[in-house]
Amino acid sequence: MPLELSYLVASIFVYFLMIVVQAILSNLENNPATMAGARDDVTDKGVMLCRARRANANMVESLVMFVPLVLVAYVTDNLNDTTQLGAGLFLAARIVYAPTYWFGIPWLRTLVWFAGFVGIAMIALQILPFSGA
């Protein structure tokens, strides 16, 4: 399996772990009986839980770009050193991004988000028809 696809699978695993962290924080903030129900009246109050939800939403936004780009690069046989580096950069950035968001480290979080975005852009540039890749 190409390294880019391994990075894609690992990114999904990172997102899964982020969901687990959010679930744990939700259960710590609210009683388990409430969490087992429809949660119609549940409002997040804890700072960490709110940050975990926002970090997860941001991960979804990023995966919506990352996943199809990696798959298109694979299907069109445009995998190369740049796509490998871009996918690796995305994964590494996302591993660091979640905890920096959870713990409220603002400038580092922004830099790490930007690094992940650069990784996505590196892949995108390799599959554009005019890129020469």
Max CA pair span of the chain = 57
Contact in structure between 81 and 3 (CB atoms under 8 Å) = no
Per-domain boundaries in the chain: 3-34+45-127
CATH C-level class of 3-34+45-127: mainly alpha
Q: Is-above-0.75 flag for pTM?
A: yes
Output the DSSP codes for 31-70: -HHHHHS--TT-----HHHHHHHHHHHHHHHHHHHHHHHH
* pLDDT for the residue 38: 67
The DSSP code for 133 is -
Query: Tens-of-pLDDT digits for all 133 residues of the chain?
Result: 999 999 999 999 999 999 999 989 988 887 777 666 666 676 778 899 999 999 999 999 999 999 999 999 999 999 999 999 999 999 999 999 999 999 999 999 999 999 999 999 999 999 987 665 5
* pLDDT for the residue 37: 64
